[in-house]
Amino acid sequence: MRTFINSSISLIALILISACGRGPHNPVDGDFKLDKANRPTAGQTVSAITFADVKPIFQKCTTCHGAGKANATDWLDYSSAASKKVQLMDRVIIKGDMPLGFKLEKEELKTLATWLKTGTLPEPDGSVADTPENPPIEAPVDVPVEAPPVVQPTEPTAPEAPVVDEPVSTPWPANLISIKKIFDESCLMCHTGAMPNAPDWQNYAVVESKKDRIYNRVLVVKDMPMAVTITDEKREIIKNWLDGKPMQITPWPEKYSNARDIVAVNCTACHNADSGLPNWSDYAVVESKFSEIRNRLFVTKDMPYSGPMQPSDLDIIKNWLDDVAPKELE
């Protein structure tokens, strides 16, 4: 009987000891939410993410962001970046529609998200090492250092210049100068060919190939231009152009009607809306060509093709140019 009691006590003790090893304060591996590979080892600490870690990521935003850019927010300035943490989380991490035109790498997104969630820590003091990046390696005192072999000088040869294929840019047609002016004022903060997925609107061949896209973004979705707001009147001008309607021209100011009449008599037989040459009936075109007009009439004197103007007419044209475009401003 005593033997049975002793055996029972031993069995109960064994069960209790086993249970203690799996209690709430000592969970088994299956109770961990983190994989073993992600757990810090003994003595290991997790490095805090500071502004020094995310600054290289923000460097990718400087095409559009910064002083004088489409958006003046300077992401390389800690105070500016930290004050916009809600917007950063929303646009970069959640929506993913920034940076414009490309996506950050997964590791970059992870680093930025961690910085935003852990208090947007600034750069620690002394984060830039005071020691040179590549300090000299001193040879041990008791090890002789062999002198480098003597290299006989050779005649230098000029390296061959690399052949660089410069991209060919097609200029805008002269009769579309009023459309180009809208693009120049509203789109060239981003659309210069320097950013991925932002076509170069300075190149008319690119514009021609993207007319459907322009129509959709400017006239249907209306999410472009992104950095500025354009008037409904300008959208209508773009629509008429894309629809193939006759271009609306900008009339000459009435105060320059005498110069306008001289240009009409001497120049518009060639310089009209259908010729492919600058349309001198459109004052928006004329404004973009003040220097060229002055040069062709008064320097090279090879215009008009039909023959020279009367001296009195040239005086009127010169007075007009001096009024609207003084030489020192051209």
Instruction: Give the whole-angstrom CA distance, residue 115 versus residue 112.
Output: 5
pLDDT in tens, 133-152: 434 334 344 445 455 666 66
Question: Do residues 324 and 290 make contact, with C-beta atoms less than 8 angstroms apart?
Answer: yes
| pTM of the predicted protein model | 0.44
Q: Which helix (H) or strand (E) holds 212?
A: helix 211-214
pLDDT band (50, 70, 90) for residue 325: confident
Lowest-confidence region among 4-8, 76-80, 208-212, 268-272: 4-8
Quick check: 17 pLDDT over 60? Answer: no
User: What mean pLDDT do residues 242-252 have?
Assistant: 87
Single out the residue of 75, 65, 67, 66 nearest to residue 101, CA to CA. Answer: 65
Lowest-confidence region among 71-80, 138-147, 168-177: 138-147
Return the structure tokens found at 306: 């039909």
Strands (E) across the chain are located at none
* 3-state DSSP assignment of residue 13: helix
* 3-state DSSP assignment of residue 175: helix
From the centroid of its chain, how far is CA 93?
19
**Looking at this protein, which amino acid is placed at residue 214?**
I
